[in-house]
Amino acid sequence: METIIFYILAAIIILFAVASVTSRKILRAVIYLLFVLIGIAGLYFLVDYNFLAAIQLTVYGGGIIVLFIFAVLLIHHVELELEKTALKKKLIAGALSAAGLAVTLWAISTYPFPVTDTYTSIEVADIGLLLLSYEDGGFILPFEVISVLLVAVMIGAIVIAKGKKLTENN
């Protein structure tokens, strides 16, 4: 059962990822990206990381996609079609990506991963305790740094997006 669900999710993720990078209607590309992100949340549910799946759905599906849609609506006409990419560029990019994929898959398939058979379920409380622990291997410092970073980004985004129009200067 889980095997079938995994393959369905994999098919959804890959199909919509391809659609997302090739679609010429920009709003549709954003919605395809949303489907990819939801498929990845399904993958997290499949390995029992419910907290991460919830984060994926709220932050990506709820936050980032809405940001993208706002940006698209602010900048483009909804029906606008993107310029066609030149075939030569597509071929070069495709060849480079395929070569990179081949090297990566070769490296993965030849590396003997020491897979364990034990299974422990993940509690949200464990993640929270690890994030706030200041003992050996605790993550309190990165956690605080991320908080400061988020504040800095918020202020920076406000300041940058306010910007001046070029016509006022010259």
Nearer CB in complex with other proteins: 78/115 = 115
120 binds other proteins (CB under 8 A): yes
User: Of 76, 64, 9, which is closest to residue 31 (Cα–Cα)?
Assistant: 64
Nearer CB in complex with other proteins: 78/116 = 116
Minimum distance from residue 16 beta carbon to other proteins (Å): 10
Quick one: which of 78, 79, 118, 141 contacts other proteins (CB under 8 A)? Answer: 118
Minimum distance from residue 107 beta carbon to other proteins (Å): 9
Kindly state the tokens that stand for 69: 């849609």
38 binds other proteins (CB under 8 A): no
Minimum distance from residue 115 beta carbon to other proteins (Å): 5
d(CA 158, CA 41): 30
55 binds other proteins (CB under 8 A): yes
66 binds other proteins (CB under 8 A): no
Minimum distance from residue 92 beta carbon to other proteins (Å): 8
126 binds other proteins (CB under 8 A): yes
Quick one: which of 135, 136, 141, 165 contacts other proteins (CB under 8 A)? Answer: 165
Quick one: which of 8, 132, 140, 154 contacts other proteins (CB under 8 A)? Answer: 154
Provide the 10 A C-beta neighbour count for residue 34. 19
Answer positive or negative: Cα dihedral of 117, 118, 121, 125. Answer: negative
Quick one: which of 28, 77, 101, 132 contacts other proteins (CB under 8 A)? Answer: 101
Instruction: For tokens 């202020």, name the residue.
Output: 155
Helix (H, G, I), strand (E, B) or coil at 82: coil
d(CA 103, CA 106): 5
Radius of gyration of the chain measured on its C-alpha atoms: 21
The secondary structure of residue 58, as a DSSP letter, is I
82 binds other proteins (CB under 8 A): yes
d(CA 64, CA 75): 16
